[in-house]
Amino acid sequence: TFCDPAAALRLFETEQFAVIIADYIMPTINGVDLLAQVQRRWPKTRRILMSGYADVESLGRAVNTAGICGFLPKPLDPGLLLTTVKAACDTATATGGEPAPTGELRRYDIETDRRKVEEAQTAQRADEQMQARNALGSAQVLVVDDDPAIQQMVQVVLAREGCMVATAENSAEALSQLRNTDFDVVVADAWMPGMPGVELLRQVRENWPETQVVLITAHANYEAAVEGLRAGAFDLVAKPFHMERIRNIVSRAVERRYFQAAAELHEAARLIHGCQNRERLAELIVDAAMRAMGADDASLMLTAPDGSLYVSYSHGLPETMQAEARCAIGERVAGQVALSREPALLSGALQDDPRFEGVESYGRVCSSIVHPLVSGEQLLGVLNLNRVHDRRPFRQSDLQCAAVLASQIVLALENAQLLRTVVSSGQLAAIGQLAASVVHEINNPLAYALSNIALVRKGLETVAQGRNATGSWWETTGDKLIPEMQDEAGDVENGLARVRDIVRDMRALVPGKESPSRPFDLNDAIRSAIRIANPEIRNHRGELVTDLGDDVKVCGSPGQMSQVFLNLLVNAAHALQGSSSSKKEVAVSSCRSGERVIAKVSDTGAGIASQHLDRVFEPFFSTKPKDQGTGLGLSISRDIVHRHGGEIRVESSLGKGTVFEIVLPADAEREPHG
Q: What is the mean pLDDT of residues 190-195?
A: 85
Q: What is the mean pLDDT of the chain?
A: 77
More confident call, 88 vs 409: 409
Of 46-50, 320-324, 667-671, the one with minimum mean pLDDT is 667-671
The pLDDT tens digits of the residues spanning 590-603 come to: 999 989 999 999 99
| Strands (DSSP E) found in 471-522 | 518-521
At 643, the pLDDT band (50, 70, 90 cuts) reads confident
Please state, in angstroms and rounded to a whole number, the distance separating the CA atoms of residues 563 and 277: 18
The pLDDT tens digits of the residues spanning 7-21 come to: 888 888 888 888 999
Q: Is the pLDDT of residue 242 over 90?
A: no
The pLDDT tens digits of the residues spanning 461-501 come to: 666 666 555 556 556 665 666 677 777 677 676 667 666 66
Q: Is the pLDDT of residue 260 over 70?
A: yes
Give the pLDDT confidence score for residue 352 in this predicted structure. 65
pLDDT above 90 covers a percentage of the chain that reads 15
Of 383-387, 450-454, 602-606, the one with minimum mean pLDDT is 450-454
More confident call, 273 vs 113: 273
Give the pLDDT confidence score for residue 235 in this predicted structure. 86
More confident call, 172 vs 449: 172
Is residue 68 within 8 Å of residue 35, measured between CB atoms? yes
Please state, in angstroms and rounded to a whole number, the distance separating the CA atoms of residues 347 and 522: 54
The pLDDT tens digits of the residues spanning 103-115 come to: 333 333 444 444 5
Q: Which amino acid is at 130?
A: M
Nearest to 47 by CA among 27, 67, 61, 30: 67
The pLDDT tens digits of the residues spanning 326-383 come to: 777 777 888 888 888 899 888 766 666 667 776 776 667 788 899 999 988 889 999 9
Ranges 207-221, 322-336, 458-472, 497-511, most confident: 207-221
Please state, in angstroms and rounded to a whole number, the distance separating the CA atoms of residues 621 and 571: 13
Is residue 597 within 8 Å of residue 522, measured between CB atoms? yes
Give the pLDDT confidence score for residue 58 in this predicted structure. 53
At 1, the pLDDT band (50, 70, 90 cuts) reads confident
Please state, in angstroms and rounded to a whole number, the distance separating the CA atoms of residues 448 and 467: 28
Of 6-15, 136-145, 428-437, the one with minimum mean pLDDT is 428-437
pLDDT above 70 covers a percentage of the chain that reads 69
Q: What angle do CA 449, 452, 454 make, to 5 degrees?
A: 110
pTM as predicted: 0.51
Residue 554: how many CA atoms within 13 Å on its side-chain side? 32
C-alpha pair distances (Å), 574 with each of 401, 582, 629, 651, 659? 49, 16, 10, 17, 14
Q: What is the mean pLDDT of residues 286-311?
A: 88
Q: What is the DSSP string of 183-195?
A: -SEEEEETT-SSS
SS3 content of the chain, % helix, strand, coil (to 5): 50, 20, 30
Of 163-177, 552-566, 656-670, the one with minimum mean pLDDT is 656-670
Q: Is the pLDDT of residue 206 over 50?
A: yes
Q: What is the mean pLDDT of residues 100-104?
A: 39
Give the pLDDT confidence score for residue 219 in this predicted structure. 64
Q: What is the mean pLDDT of residues 67-93?
A: 77
The pLDDT tens digits of the residues spanning 465-476 come to: 665 555 565 566
Q: Is the pLDDT of residue 144 over 90?
A: yes
Kindly tell me the burial class for residue 663, based on how many C-beta atoms sit within 10 Å of its own C-beta (0-12, 13-18, 19 or more).
Answer: middle
